[in-house]
Amino acid sequence: MQITFYGAVREVTGSMHLLTTESDRILMDCGLFQGKRKESEAKNRILPFDPQILTNVVLSHAHIDHSGRIPLLAKHNFNGRVICTRATASACEYLLPDAAHIQESDAAYLNYKTLRGVLSRMKPGHLKKIGLPRDTAHVKALLKKNRHKVDTETIDRLIDSLHLEKVQPLYTNEEASQALAAFDDLPYHHPVSIGRDITCTFYDAGHILGSAISIIKTRENGANKSVCYTGDIGRFDKPIINDPTLEFAPADCDVDLMIMESTYGDRSHEPVKDLKPLVKKVLDETADRGGAVLIPAFAFGRTQELLYVLHELYAAGEVNRIPVYVDSPLAIKLTRVFGEHPEVYDAETHATFLKNGLNPFLFNQIHFVASVEDSIALTQEKSPHIVLSASGMCESGRILHHLRHKIHNPNNTILIVGFMAQHTLGRRILEKGLEYEASGRVGPPPLLRILNKEYPLKARVVQIGGFSAHGDKIEMMRFLERSNLNVKKIAVVHGEPDQALAFAGHLRDKGYLAEVPKRGETWNV
């Protein structure tokens, strides 16, 4: 048996690892790379293998950096099944079409920009020859159906007639729907055959709703081998979902190779018990300034966790009950998924909310913003309020519009509650914002480019790391040392180089055989 590491190797996004036996090829995750547009485009568009060779895919959880290229497999004639937990399958029903919509929207916008640029440089006589108005203003109007939507049919027709290079989406909504037809959802602790003499058993990873640690066992040439793919390991003692599994079935305890994440392999989070006081402090200080709190939040997991904490604070009367807006159609749908899977809630959530007949994610002050018009109106709101909006790394979505309207006001706060990958706008806001705060806010504020225009970062930037869905160095060691797994070797993945290499070194200091593979490297098991 061999493992080839294709994604999230010495980086965080784009998880993808291929398990190969004499008769089968099992892909563990098929995620999107996220970061610089051109670099991500190049990595995402080209698969390092023909999807037709795959037997099946084992999906650890629904986050797009783990699931987001599955439609690309379907686009290229993947014939297998996608094996995942029930909650993961439910979430992907919304996440993958949303990813397709983003791909299509981005392609349409880039084509619009290309065509508009070309037409704006044309002379009036040339415009007339191809049947277009002579002035630029009318040309621009022609390319849009309304103020908020480009006319893709007109743009595609003109791009073709002018022989311009057209940007194609990575995949379409139809291809995402085709991929969803391949999903098979399974409960935890239930072994299933995924190939010839290959089984997979899921255990709760405690990362997000439905996240799984996969124990994959093979029998080849009379020898038994076992791989444990952790996916993303969650934190301990957080609300809503269960802690990462520590007790595995005796038959699953011996592991020849563990493929283990290292997102925070050399860092420590704030204690979980401090999260509510930290949120309260941010809300109180911002409200005193008369400002708004903007929270870039992943639609799946982080948004629901924040709603849970806000619900507790509001119910206890610990903060001013200012309006809370969830401005993300995807987050609204995924909050419904959370409501449909109470079977995976932890005991605290049952005791605090469910036993009292309460929904953890609904309270009087919450408003779900669905329409574009209502989202635009919200950007003009001047009174204190809270906005939770995607995307979590500020690379796309409605959060960009809230930022460009609020980032220049020092009364407002941008609250960072999740991991921001390198080269994302979220990382730039975090680093430049904290640097400006550390300087005492002296001198001109840093400038940030949002939707092709620069804005001064005058809003306060605050980071609360404890909300991360990833375990830190201490918690990952807790999982490893307190579980009943016997691990022979560890491949350290899903971490930027400094984190992955540091965590591998720490593991070796603790007596584990641990290495950090390189992308494309193959290991024998």
Domain co-membership, 200 together with 284: no
pLDDT reported for residue 147: 64
Say whether both 229 and 176 belong to one domain. Answer: yes
Report helix, strand or coil for 176: helix
pLDDT at 148 over 70: no
- Give the range of the structural domain holding residue 129, as residue numbers without chain letter: 98-161
Grade residue 125 by pLDDT with cuts at 50, 70 and 90: confident
Residue 64: is its pLDDT beyond 90?
A: yes
* H/E segment holding residue 281: helix 275-289
Range of weakest confidence among 205-209, 279-283, 299-303, 349-353: 349-353
Q: Which CATH number goes with the domain that contains 196? A: 3.60.15.10
Tens digit of pLDDT for each residue in 395-438?
Answer: 888 999 999 999 999 999 999 998 888 888 999 999 999 999 99
Q: Is pLDDT above 90 for 346?
A: no
Flag whether 220 is in a domain. yes
- Same structural domain for residues 146 and 93? no
Q: Do 359 and 424 belong to one domain? A: yes
Whether residues 301 and 380 fall in one domain: yes
Phi-psi region of 29 (alpha: psi -120 to 50; beta: other; left: phi over 0): left
Rounded to a whole number of angstroms, the distance between the first and last alpha carbons of the chain is: 5
**Is there a single domain that holds both residue 85 and residue 229?**
yes
> What pLDDT was estimated at residue 66?
97
pTM: 0.86
Name the token pair of 291.
Answer: 């400002």
Asked if the model's pLDDT at residue 475 lies above 70, the reply is: yes
pLDDT tens per residue across span 32-41: 998 777 788 8
Inter-helix orientation angle 86-120/173-180, to 10°: 170
What is the identity of the amino acid at 243?
D
**What per-residue confidence (pLDDT) applies to 134?**
65
Does pLDDT of 152 surpass 80? yes
Q: Is 167 inside a domain boundary? A: no
Instruction: For residues 348 and 451, state if they share a domain.
Output: yes
**In this structure, is residue 166 part of a structural domain?**
no
Domain assignment present for residue 65? The answer is yes
What is the pLDDT, as a whole number, of residue 214?
A: 98
The encoded tokens of residue 271 equal 């204690």
Here the tokens at position 251 are 């038959």
Task: Judge if 88 and 103 occupy the same domain.
Answer: no
Claim to verify: residue 112 and residue 84 sit in the same structural domain: no
- For residue 237, tell me if it sits in a domain: yes
Report helix angle 152-161 to 86-120, nearest 10: 50
Sheet bearing 257-261, strands edge to edge: 192-195, 198-204, 212-220, 223-229, 257-261, 490-493, 514-515
In this prediction, residue 123 carries a pLDDT of 79
Domain count, the chain: 3
- Give residue 507's pLDDT band: very low, low, confident or very high (50, 70, 90): very high
Question: Nearest-CA neighbor of 491 among 267, 262, 198, 264?
Answer: 262
In a domain, 234, yes or no: yes
pLDDT of amino acid 137: 66
Q: Answer with the one of 116, 142, 161 that is the final residue of a domain.
A: 161
**450-464 burial, b if ≥16 CB within 10 A, otherwise e?**
beeeebebbbbbbbb
Q: Given this model, what pLDDT does residue 116 score?
A: 84
Spatial distance between the Cα atoms of 266 and 273, rounded to a whole number of angstroms: 21
Report pLDDT for 62: 95
Do residue 477 and residue 456 come from a single domain?
Answer: no
Contact (CB, 8 A) for 53 and 162 = no
pLDDT at 55: 98
473 with 517, same domain? Answer: yes
Of 434, 449, 467, the one marking the end of a domain is 467
User: Do 56 and 203 belong together in one domain?
Assistant: yes
Answer whether residue 369 is part of any domain.
yes
The CATH number for 406's domain is 3.40.50.10890
Token pair 């935890």: residue: 188
Is 327 a member of any domain? yes
Mean pLDDT of the chain: 92
Helices (H), 59-200: 64-67, 70-75, 86-120, 124-129, 136-142, 152-161, 173-180
Q: State residue 352's pLDDT score.
A: 78
Spatial neighbors of 109 by CB under 8 A, at least 6 apart, are 150
